[in-house]
Amino acid sequence: MNTLESNTINPDKQHLIIIGNGMVGHHLVEQLVARGATSRYTITVFGEERHLAYDRVHLSEYFSGRDAESLALSTAEYYAEHGIALRLHESVTAIDRDSAEVVTEQGRYAYDRIVLATGSYPFVPPIPGNDRAGCLVYRTLEDLDEIRAAAEDAATGVVVGGGLLGLEAANALRGLELETAVVEFAPRLMPMQVDSEGGELLREKIQSLGVQVLTERATQRIEDGEASRHRMVFQDDKVLEADLIVFSAGIRPRDELARACALEMGERGGVVIDDQCLTSDPAILAVGEVALWNNSIFGLVAPGYQMARAAADTLMCDALEGDAERFQGADMSTKLKLLGVDVGSIGDAHGDRTPGARMFRYLDPLKQQYRKLVVSSDGKRLVGAMLVGDNSVYDSLMQYYANRIDLPDDPASLILPSSQGAPALGPDALPDTAMICSCHNVSKGDVCASIDAGAGDLAAIKGDTRASTGCGGCAALLKSVVDHELESRGVEVDHSICEHFAHTRQELYDIVRVEGIKTFSELMRTHGADSSHGLGCDICKPAVASILASCFNEPITDAAHVGLQDTNDTFMANMQKNGTYSVVPRIAGGEITPDKLVVLGQVAQKFDLYTKITGGQRIDLFGARLEDLPAIWGELIDAGFETGHAYGKSLRTVKSCVGSTWCRYGVQDSVGMAIRLENRYKGLRSPHKIKFGVSGCTRECAEAQSKDIGVIATDNGWNLYVCGNGGMRPRHAELFATDLDDDALFQTIDRFLMFYVRTADRLQRTSVWRENLEGGLDYLKEVIIDDSLGLGAELESQMQGVVDSYECEWANAISDPEKLKRFRSFVNDSRPDPDIIFTSERGQLRPA
């Protein structure tokens, strides 16, 4: 029989076993560590999965490039540092209450206290054929691995379930380039969060993304399909075929251990707990989705975290100072983005739990926005709200609801468009009890206390309070509260770009443009913060270089500008890990002739370069020595290539599918449009890199909705999407305009890009810029489409100036002997760098 090793090491400690290492189980561990529980308990954590606790809230990002390590909430070193035994990939099969032991396949482990944090499992409806190969669930990383593998030879996928998890699963299938459908038993999508009007709008928005939505469908059986692997037969004998079926029709508590050891259970499942998270056996506690409190299961992470805090207090009750925390229910308000569509639900969103509730509704079918306000019978309190298509007012409404703040005389003004509505609820209107971060139970008072204790910026306050480190939904509200509280204490919240300029990037841009300043030295002389600060730094110099290029488009290698550039821009190539550089010629729209392909191969052979086809439909040549760059580019330019700006904060690529030229589904020439777009905007310098995508139909093979600028063909023209991106925090682009003809498309993009260049912060991607814009997408539409600021013609003119002044930077450099002098490894020696060493792998060179 296995026993805990620490039994013999420290017999004075009690043995605490936590069964489950999900988000809630790990949060419990953190709470116990914070309370000093390791001095009282020997703690062992059993995790059924082989992975450390990971962030299930962002599980779908696993298909966007994140891995188990990046999703992990902690490290094995953290557990070891605090003396906590972590036993992953070891399932507890039974709890023997008579002998006070838990049982696994590896042995038996004695306990004094247990916490069940076993979570839930996906509900799979009892449909004949639900166990066929290719019928999967969406819950764990292993599940996602199975879905990814099954999708490799699939063309179509169906998700059974149109709730929160179902739409997340549908997004995952779209990301795997499957033609996707959602089947929901209820009359609408997300029936718990939205009403019939909101559900209909949600259906329209999701169907516009190319996802088929079938509601009021009860699947009777799954059988062999004719054109696909499976056929779903519904109650009316209608059918739907798919190669892959994912069940995401709700959750059920993982309560089998509790049931088997005869703990008190709920009638429909879940182990019954009290306010202290104690089960019917006082030695056993339960938290998270396995726990049934007051006849309710809570399926969100924030209530699970509240239970974890209450359980930690219960386990340490005689060591606590002051009152122990109790779990007394949780607010189920949620702010979500599903398939790129905003959905918000606050409190009694349906108004069926509030006697005499009054409701206000606002619907804009053109902008596809629906807002609903539920107020008390006297009109003084907000008791619920519902948002579809735009969550920009969610934070303000949530504070009215959570803190019982008096509503304005006209409550409907809170959900009217910004031009008509009431002003946003500012941080000064929030009481100290206002909940800022529900995941970690951080109030405005906690933020203020952190500031008073010495935290002087947002990062320090996050580290101190952990606010906005859970689901992240409170990030914007937290920043506004922090800035306001710092300023109210007389602390200047400095938005300066750096110590050399007491201006933001936007202010510097306006100064340069209005005053016609064309050099960094002139800008420093006339607007520098203090001449004693020197000649600039690695922050302001590249930022100003980008501004100058955006305004005047002079070659970045000119003597007046080259000293401002970072390494990549200085040598117009991306430096690699071994000191060599990459060469990335532009291949507009991904279209290339055989002759040019041959040239790329010949250059790669001649200079012994590693070749790689990129996700942006280009060919990268790696391993170029600094002194070889001019010769390489000389040959490429002679063959008709030009710089691809892979090194610059500028337009990188315009990805395209083959469109109507070749594809039987294509409705427009996506390749031709991609080439036109790339050739127009290829010289634009911007606050951050920009990527485009053009798809010839709604099947979206170019993944346009993950790009800064996404263009999707329709029968009547082009739909324009903006402000999406991949990277560390992927974000779907949002529909900006529909059925544009070619001229209107270019005019809209001209205005949009130049407005972004004018107003964004340094190194701010379009997605973050849009999130920080007051008024959000509506404001952008007013400025760009409606020309509310009267800037349209000016923005277009500025863009045309950039287009007219374009010059290939490499062509300019190799024609100037002075500029070529920079391209050598040593100032006083023309020989190559002897420390650059290669080895061979898969028939090509790579850094040794």
- Two tokens at 673? 């449009």
Give the residue carrying structure tokens 């337009």. Answer: 651
CA distance 655 to 104: 52
Q: Where are the beta strands (DSSP E) in 27-176?
A: 41-47, 85-88, 92-96, 101-104, 107-110, 113-116, 120-122, 135-137, 156-160
What are the φ/ψ torsions at residue 261 (nearest 5 degrees)?
-100, 20
> Known binder of ligand: residue 657?
yes
10 Å CB burial of residue 485 (0-12, 13-18, 19+) is buried
Beta bridge partners of 16: 43, 113
**How many other CB atoms are found less than 10 A from the CB of residue 811?**
16
10 Å CB burial of residue 627 (0-12, 13-18, 19+) is middle
- Two tokens at 360? 């206000």
**How many other CB atoms are found less than 10 A from the CB of residue 300?**
18
Q: Where are the beta strands (DSSP E) in 530-662?
A: 574-575, 581-583, 610-613, 619-624, 651-656
* CA distances in angstroms from 507 to 206, 324, 334, 761, 774, listed in the order given: 39, 51, 37, 10, 17
CA distance 573 to 583: 6
Check: CB of residue 710 under 8 Å from CB of residue 722: yes
CA distance 482 to 477: 9
> Known binder of ligand: residue 498?
no
Beta bridge partners of 184: 215
CA distance 387 to 384: 10
CA distance 324 to 320: 7
Check: CB of residue 767 under 8 Å from CB of residue 725: yes
| Residue 447 host element (H or E) | helix 444-452
Check: CB of residue 20 under 8 Å from CB of residue 288: yes
Check: CB of residue 564 under 8 Å from CB of residue 542: yes
Name the residue among 669, 674, 639, 641 with its Cα closest to residue 656: 674
CA distance 588 to 644: 9
Name the residue among 143, 193, 206, 135 with its Cα closest to residue 164: 193
Give the residue carrying structure tokens 């003396």. Answer: 83
Check: CB of residue 641 under 8 Å from CB of residue 585: yes
Q: Which long-range contacts (CB under 8 A, 24 or more apart) does 619-623 make?
A: 619/584, 619/585, 619/587, 620/582, 620/583, 620/584, 620/646, 621/582, 621/583, 621/584, 622/576, 622/580, 622/582, 622/583, 623/576, 623/580, 623/838, 623/845, 623/846, 623/847
What are the φ/ψ torsions at residue 637 (nearest 5 degrees)?
-65, -35
CA distance 300 to 251: 11
> Known binder of ligand: residue 261?
no
3-state secondary structure of 833: coil
List residues forming the annotated binding site for [4Fe-4S] cluster. Answer: 657, 663, 697, 701
List residues forming the annotated binding site for siroheme. Answer: 701
List residues forming the annotated binding site. Answer: 657, 663, 697, 701
